[in-house]
Structure formats: C-alpha cells, structure tokens
Amino acid sequence: EIVLTQSPGTLSLSPGDRATLSCRASQRISSNFLAWFQHKPGQAPRLLIFRASSRPTGIPDRFSGSGSGTDFTLAISRLEPEDFAVYYCQQYGNSPWTFGQGTKLEIK
C-alpha cells in the first residue's frame, strides 16, 4: 500500500500568514489522484483539492494544490481564523486508498 507522510506534524502560524503543507508518497500516485481535506472537531471532513491541484466549486482561491508523482503541496495564501484545523492528504489512485497522518495548523 502507498504510505503518505505529511510534514510538518504541527504548524504554528498567525492569521494573514502563508501556510505550506507537504505530503510525500512512498511510491508514485497514479494519475495524480491526490486530495486534500480540512477537518475540524465535530465536523465532517471538507474536500479542498482533488487531482492534486483542482479546487471544487465553493472552495476559496487562497487554497491551492500542486505537485505530481510522489511530492505534493497544499498552500494557503492568507490564513483566515477559520483555516486553523487539521489537514489530511489522501491518495485514491491505488487500492487500498490511504490517508496521511495529518498536519495540525494552529494559531501562533
């Protein structure tokens, strides 16, 4: 199975800062089928990015995804207070699908 390693484990930033989150795969992800989710306590995960860089309708353009093969990045250009949460990457190109362990984005 593909192991996804996210870094850093915790990221401490202030509103208005730029955040850069990394997701590295143990092997190439087929068709760049890599998604990013935001997860807050008591809520369902929210899809932010799919196919590495595509944004669903309704997701603000301050969220952007990039990368291919085994290295992927989620960038949040100007942090808003509601962006502080845990972020997960998920690969859905190879069975079994897998998640990274998560990056906690906390207020500095």
Partner 1 sequence: QVQVFQSGAEVKKPGASVKVSCKASGYTFNNFYFQWVRKAPGQGLEWVGIISPGGGTTFYAEKLKGRVSMTSDSSTSTVYMELSTLRSDDTAVYYCARLNIDMVGDVWGQGTTITVSS
Contacts with partner 1, residue ranges (CB under 8 A): 1, 33, 35, 37, 39, 44-47, 50-51, 54, 56, 86, 88, 90, 92, 95-102
Contacts of 86 (CB under 8 A, 6+ apart): 38, 39, 40, 102, 103, 104, 105
Kindly tell me which of 79 and 90 has the beta carbon lying closer to partner 1.
90
Kindly tell me which of 16 and 96 has the beta carbon lying closer to partner 1.
96
Cα 34 → chain centroid: 9
Kindly tell me which of 51 and 108 has the beta carbon lying closer to partner 1.
51
CB-CB neighbours of 97 under 10 Å: 13
